[in-house]
């Protein structure tokens, strides 16, 4: 039993499960405090998400919606995870995501590009946007969190400005992609029929493959070896002759590309349009932080954690609005996401408990 | 009846998972004596002191103050009992004055919350006169010598009326002359009734100043002796458990042609506006060990940074094997035949959270033996290479190649670095304090490796702070003082006293490159 507990993977999994349960529990308590009548029903429905639907068809369709929104979350959390492994906290993923969204939407609506060029363009622009943070960090020693947060806002308002030229005249939203330029929509490769939902696209298998590629790059290649060494011990990396500045910039560029790709994978499904008057940075990049930690900082883990987070976020809309105001769903899912950040703390606690019981044993011997 | 002991630690046992750090140790400090605590690294000295300071709780044993059992739960309890310590690394605020540092935490305050510095100053001056501790109360810590910083630390304890004074390896940072001064201060303190615990592994100092000496080895209590009744050899045998050959066996050197030449090297300092290395020039030839000696902080670290490429030179050039490498990258220097055993193995030498095998390829991971054409690591080759080095250099670790470097002992971490650096077959080996913090057995091993490099016709540049090492290992000594090379000495002809004068800046000659 203890041997099992000592294994890194088991610990990560256990810590994530504990966080989820704690989050649900606290969410439930919040509901109880506000109004005990609908609490149990609401929390159950929240966890059920699309299973709530009576008709199989609708269930499948809602499952597809959750899946579509899970994809950008996976990409954002991969973006954060990749930097994190190299010792950088890429809170700018949110801004890089915005840059990607802006790039692919403008290329699609303004220039009428096809889906693949749009997607690659989003990647490149977001990579450049990420690289700015890297250059500032490498050559001016600007903390990546500070410059990241500032660039998030710069990105948001720049995107609003640029995309205003391709918005509907009567609303703040950008034009419908499927009406203006259907060629920019991601191909469905038959998944739309499977899920009875036109927004389920090639993005789903792509994201899964990218997660696996990130895992392989980090663990099995020379670049991964070098980047992780730089992340764990910058001084040793320098001593070993690694180009640390280049590594920092490259890392943030790759992170940016991942986040930008995530944006393209959502906006090019036609599921969502950009609101040109929005005054807050889309939460996707920030939720990616929670997903990365909940996934135990493993690329494969993020697939599941991202899905879970999106699942409860969507499930939040099932909360009974007769008893609670409609924002309650955000509160509950925020509480759960917030607790996801505690994964490392719980892991540490598990470790401490093990070593304490070891110490006791040692004292007896 | 009053107890003759100021503090007693009786039958102290402290266990950690897997090891017993202190096994039934007894230490009795008489009032007014200087008592040495002797032991190698890892013998349990630090653990014992941490127990005394309440940082750890012993599983068994009692602590008595003036014959009465006391419970020390945290450092505040220790302070209240009058126990004070001068740490190896001083705990001083650099930009405060000596006086500010002394009163910090126990500032005399008037009714309105104003500091009463005048009172404090008078007390400090009185104390420094009484014990012969020469300090300038208004000088800033960053401007004064290490010796004076240490005296500030001692005054800190006296200002708090501490009765039991612990000195943790106090001589490591001092010149031989400053060491003599410190010894005198310790004698004065003891004569005034203070009880002193002197932690050290330097036998000569213990013999010179201590009344009694308690020896620990591998967590066990070996014994307490009167220093008058034993010889240095006996003490060392008690400490190590066998007779140690202090002298490094080596044949006379047969130097060949110059491998490394440094001309007018100047390196800027990171901490102040002066240059850390000023116009240093020297040569290292095949088949010789050249040692750069000096007190810590006289530019040796920066000299190495400049040499290995970690910091740029502001002036001068470096020639390795006939090629100018002044502007070459770290990687280029490494691949052109320079190996570097860094000063700080945790900061530079190892990626602690990597496995041992990944650390073994830290500088060669990009070579075709370890990375294939697409960029994947050749894990099998890496494992074989690491296993080979582990066997060849006798690196001991829990799980072999896959052991996390963090979990290895300091000596074996150092052996791993040495294995990696020597396997590169360097033309010149730059070894910076390669024996720092290691036990006698590991030191012997490392010295042998250095001599073996020399005998294989390679050049070795050793940077050391340990006087014994400086006198014993090299074929030539260069002394550095305030960033300059102030003297070249022949270890066979010079004495520690002469070396000390050069190190303290009291003597210098013009050294030709």
Q: What is the ipTM of this complex?
A: 0.79
Q: How confident is the model at residue A347 (pLDDT cuts 50, 70, 90)?
A: confident
A8 CB near a chain B CB, below 8 Å? no
pLDDT at A358: 65
Q: How confident is the model at residue A59 (pLDDT cuts 50, 70, 90)?
A: confident
- Summarised one tens digit per residue, pLDDT across range B50-64 is 899 888 888 889 999
Q: Are A178 and A271 in contact (CB under 8 A)?
A: no
A354 CB near a chain B CB, below 8 Å? no
Interface of A with B in 228-247 (CB under 8 A): 228-229, 232-233, 235-242
- Summarised one tens digit per residue, pLDDT across range A115-165 is 999 999 999 999 999 999 999 998 998 999 999 999 999 999 999 999 999
Statement to judge: residues B375 and B496 lie in one domain:
no
Range of the domain at A291: 2-364
Set of chain B residues whose Cβ sits within 8 Å of the Cβ of A226: 365
- Phi/psi of residue A322, each to 5°? -70, -30
Are B331 and A359 in contact (CB < 8 Å)?
no
Q: Distance (Å) from the C-alpha of residue A337 to the closest C-alpha of chain B? A: 29
Residue B106, domain member (yes or no)? yes
Residue B465 scores a pLDDT above 50: yes
Domain count, chain B: 3
At B70 the three-state DSSP class reads strand
Q: How confident is the model at residue B512 (pLDDT cuts 50, 70, 90)?
A: very low
Set of chain B residues whose Cβ sits within 8 Å of the Cβ of A225: 358, 365, 377
Domain boundary among B225, B240, B255: B240
Residue of A nearest to B345 (CA): A236
Q: Distance (Å) from the C-alpha of residue B393 to the closest C-alpha of chain A? A: 21
Residue B506, domain member (yes or no)? yes
Average pLDDT score over chain B: 87
Statement to judge: residues B317 and B189 lie in one domain:
no
Residue B329, domain member (yes or no)? yes
Statement to judge: residues B154 and B265 lie in one domain:
no
Interface of B with A in 366-395 (CB under 8 A): 366, 370-371, 375-377, 379
How many C-beta atoms surround the C-beta of residue B193 within 10 A? 10
Domain boundary among B240, B255, B275: B240
Q: What is the CATH number of the domain that holds A215?
A: 1.10.3470
Are B365 and A226 in contact (CB < 8 Å)?
yes
Comparing CB atoms, the residue among A220, A239, A242 nearest residue B377 is A220
Q: Distance (Å) from the C-alpha of residue B363 to the closest C-alpha of chain A? A: 5
Comparing CB atoms, the residue among B59, B354, B363 nearest residue A363 is B59
Q: Distance (Å) from the C-alpha of residue B57 to the closest C-alpha of chain A? A: 13
- Summarised one tens digit per residue, pLDDT across range A27-36 is 888 888 888 8
Interface of B with A in 416-475 (CB under 8 A): none
How many CB pairs below 8 Å do chains A and B form together? 74
Residue B130, domain member (yes or no)? yes
Residue A363 scores a pLDDT above 70: no
pLDDT at A365: 46
Residue B356 scores a pLDDT above 90: yes
Domain count, chain A: 1
Residue B351, domain member (yes or no)? no
Task: Please report, for residues B19, B50, B287, the alpha-carbon distance to residue B15 in angstroms, rounded to integers and kept in the order given.
Answer: 6, 13, 47
Residue B348, domain member (yes or no)? no
Statement to judge: residues B215 and B317 lie in one domain:
no
Are A239 and B330 in contact (CB < 8 Å)?
yes
pLDDT at B513: 43
Q: Distance (Å) from the C-alpha of residue A252 to the closest C-alpha of chain B? A: 20
Set of chain B residues whose Cβ sits within 8 Å of the Cβ of A355: 17
Statement to judge: residues B127 and B72 lie in one domain:
yes
Q: How confident is the model at residue B76 (pLDDT cuts 50, 70, 90)?
A: confident
Statement to judge: residues B74 and B145 lie in one domain:
yes
A364 CB near a chain B CB, below 8 Å? no
pLDDT at B246: 61
Comparing CB atoms, the residue among A220, A241, A358 nearest residue B330 is A241
CA within 13 Å, CB half, B254: 5
Residue B196, domain member (yes or no)? yes
pLDDT at A1: 60
Q: Are A341 and A80 in contact (CB under 8 A)?
A: no
pLDDT at A5: 67
Are A359 and B16 in contact (CB < 8 Å)?
yes
Residue B129, domain member (yes or no)? yes
Task: Please report, for residues A40, A132, A328, B87, the alpha-carbon distance to residue A256 in angstroms, rounded to integers and kept in the order given.
Answer: 41, 10, 32, 47
Q: How confident is the model at residue B271 (pLDDT cuts 50, 70, 90)?
A: low
What H or E segment, with its residue span, contains residue B223? strand B220-226
Statement to judge: residues B389 and B488 lie in one domain:
no
Range of the domain at B324: 246-337+426-513
Comparing CB atoms, the residue among B18, B330, B371 nearest residue A362 is B18
Set of chain B residues whose Cβ sits within 8 Å of the Cβ of A229: 351, 354, 358, 362
| DSSP one-letter string for B360-414 | HTTTTTTSTTTB-TTSBB-HHHHHHHHHHHHHHTT---SSGGGSBGGGS-HHHHH
- Summarised one tens digit per residue, pLDDT across range A298-315 is 899 999 999 988 888 888
Q: What is the CATH number of the domain that holds B326?
A: 3.40.50.300
Residue identified by tokens 């600007």 is A142
B340 CB near a chain A CB, below 8 Å? yes
Q: Are B66 and B84 in contact (CB under 8 A)?
A: no
A222 CB near a chain B CB, below 8 Å? yes
Residue B464 scores a pLDDT above 60: yes
Residue B411 scores a pLDDT above 90: no
Comparing CB atoms, the residue among A221, A240, A355 nearest residue B375 is A221
Domain boundary among B370, B390, B420: B420
CA within 13 Å, CB half, B41: 12
Residue A64 scores a pLDDT above 50: yes
Statement to judge: residues B59 and B127 lie in one domain:
yes
Burial of A360 (0-12, 13-18, 19+ CB in 10 A): exposed
- Summarised one tens digit per residue, pLDDT across range A43-56 is 888 888 888 777 88
Q: Distance (Å) from the C-alpha of residue B349 to the closest C-alpha of chain A? A: 6
Q: Distance (Å) from the C-alpha of residue B128 to the closest C-alpha of chain A? A: 42
Statement to judge: residues B139 and B204 lie in one domain:
yes
Overall pTM > 0.95: no
- Summarised one tens digit per residue, pLDDT across range B272-291 is 667 889 999 999 999 999 99
Q: Distance (Å) from the C-alpha of residue B239 to the closest C-alpha of chain A? A: 26
């Amino acid at each position: 039993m203890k041997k099992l507990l000592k294994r890194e993977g088991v610990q990560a999994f256990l810590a994530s499960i504990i966080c989820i349960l704690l989050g649900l529990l606290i969410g439930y308590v919040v509901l109880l405090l506000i109004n005990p009548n609908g609490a149990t029903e609401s929390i159950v429905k929240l966890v059920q998400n699309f299973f709530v639907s009576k008709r199989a068809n609708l269930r499948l369709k809602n499952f597809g919606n959750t899946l579509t929104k899970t994809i950008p979350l996976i990409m954002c959390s991969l973006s954060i995870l990749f930097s994190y492994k190299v010792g950088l906290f890429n809170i700018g993923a949110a801004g890089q995501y915005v840059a990607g969204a802006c790039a692919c939407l403008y290329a699609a609506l303004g220039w009428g590009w096809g889906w693949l060029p749009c997607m690659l363009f989003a990647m490149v622009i977001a990579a450049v946007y990420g690289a700015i943070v890297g250059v500032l960090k490498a050559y001016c020693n600007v903390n990546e969190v500070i410059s990241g947060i500032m660039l998030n806002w710069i990105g948001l308002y720049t995107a609003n400005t640029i995309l205003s030229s391709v918005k509907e005249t009567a609303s703040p939203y950008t034009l419908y992609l499927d009406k203006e330029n259907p060629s920019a929509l991601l191909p469905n490769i038959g998944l739309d029929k499977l899920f009875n939902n036109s927004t389920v696209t090639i993005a789903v298998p792509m994201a899964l493959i990218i997660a696996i590629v990130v895992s392989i790059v980090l663990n099995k290649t020379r670049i991964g070896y070098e980047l992780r060494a730089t992340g764990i011990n910058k001084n040793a990396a320098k001593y070993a002759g690694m180009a640390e500045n280049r590594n920092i910039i490259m890392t943030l560029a790759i992170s940016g590309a991942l986040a930008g790709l995530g944006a393209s994978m959502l906006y090019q499904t036609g599921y969502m349009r950009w609101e040109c008057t929005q005054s807050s940075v889309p939460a996707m990049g920030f939720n990616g932080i929670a997903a990365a930690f909940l996934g135990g900082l493993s690329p494969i883990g993020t697939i599941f954690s991202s899905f879970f987070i999106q699942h409860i976020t969507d499930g939040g809309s099932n909360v009974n609005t007769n008893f609670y105001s409609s924002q309650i769903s955000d509160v509950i899912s925020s509480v759960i996401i917030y607790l996801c950040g505690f994964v490392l703390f719980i892991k540490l606690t598990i470790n401490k408990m093990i070593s304490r019981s070891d110490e006791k044993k040692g004292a007896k011997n | 009846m009053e107890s003759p002991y100021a503090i007693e630690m009786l039958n102290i046992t402290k266990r950690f998972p897997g090891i017993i750090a202190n096994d039934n140790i007894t230490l009795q400090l008489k009032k007014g004596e200087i008592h040495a605590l002797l032991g190698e690294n890892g013998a349990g000295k630090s653990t014992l002191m941490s127990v005394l300071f309440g940082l750890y709780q012993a599983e068994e044993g009692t602590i008595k103050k003036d014959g009465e059992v006391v419970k020390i739960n945290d450092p505040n309890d220790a302070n209240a009992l009058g126990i004070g310590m001068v740490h190896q690394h001083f705990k001083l605020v650099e930009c405060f004055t000596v006086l500010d540092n002394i009163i910090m935490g126990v500032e005399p305050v008037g009714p309105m919350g104003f500091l009463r510095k005048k009172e404090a100053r008078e007390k400090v001056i009185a104390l420094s006169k009484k014990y012969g501790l020469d300090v300038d109360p208004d000088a800033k810590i960053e401007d004064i010598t290490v010796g004076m910083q240490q005296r500030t630390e001692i005054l800190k304890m006296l200002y708090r009326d501490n009765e039991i004074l612990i000195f943790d390896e106090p001589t490591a940072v001092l010149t031989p002359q400053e060491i003599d001064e410190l010894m005198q201060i310790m004698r004065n303190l003891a004569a005034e009734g203070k009880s002193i615990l002197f932690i050290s592994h330097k036998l000569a100092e213990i013999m010179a100043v201590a009344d009694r000496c308690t020896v620990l080895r591998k967590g066990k209590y070996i014994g307490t002796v009167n220093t008058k009744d034993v010889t240095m050899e006996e003490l060392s045998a008690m400490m190590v458990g066998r007779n140690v050959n202090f002298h490094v066996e080596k044949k006379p050197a047969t130097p060949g042609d110059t491998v490394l030449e440094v001309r007018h090297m100047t390196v800027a300092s990171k901490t102040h506006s002066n240059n850390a290395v000023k116009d240093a020039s020297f040569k290292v030839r095949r088949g010789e060990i050249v040692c750069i000696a000096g007190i810590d902080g006289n530019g040796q670290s920066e000299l190495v940074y400049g040499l290995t490429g970690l910091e740029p030179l502001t002036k001068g050039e470096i020639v390795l094997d006939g090629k100018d490498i002044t502007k070459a990258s770290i990687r280029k220097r490494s691949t052109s035949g320079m190996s570097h055993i860094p000063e700080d193995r945790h900061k530079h030498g190892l990626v602690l959270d990597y496995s041992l095998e990944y650390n073994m390829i830290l500088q060669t991971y990009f070579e075709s033996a370890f990375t294939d054409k697409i960029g994947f690591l050749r894990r099998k080759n890496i494992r074989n290479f690491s296993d080979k080095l582990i066997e060849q250099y006798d690196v001991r670790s829990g799980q072999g190649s896959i052991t996390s470097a963090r979990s290895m002992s300091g000596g074996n971490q150092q052996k791993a670095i040495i294995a990696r650096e020597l396997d590169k077959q360097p033309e010149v080996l730059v070894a910076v304090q390669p024996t720092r913090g290691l036990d006698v057995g590991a030191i012997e091993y490392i010295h042998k490796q250095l001599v073996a490099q020399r005998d294989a016709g390679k050049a070795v540049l050793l940077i050391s702070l340990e006087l014994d090492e400086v006198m014993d290992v090299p074929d030539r000594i260069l002394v550095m003082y305030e960033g300059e090379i102030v003297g070249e000495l022949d270890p066979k002809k010079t004495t520690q006293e002469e070396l000390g004068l050069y190190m303290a800046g009291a003597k210098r000659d013009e050294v030709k490159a």
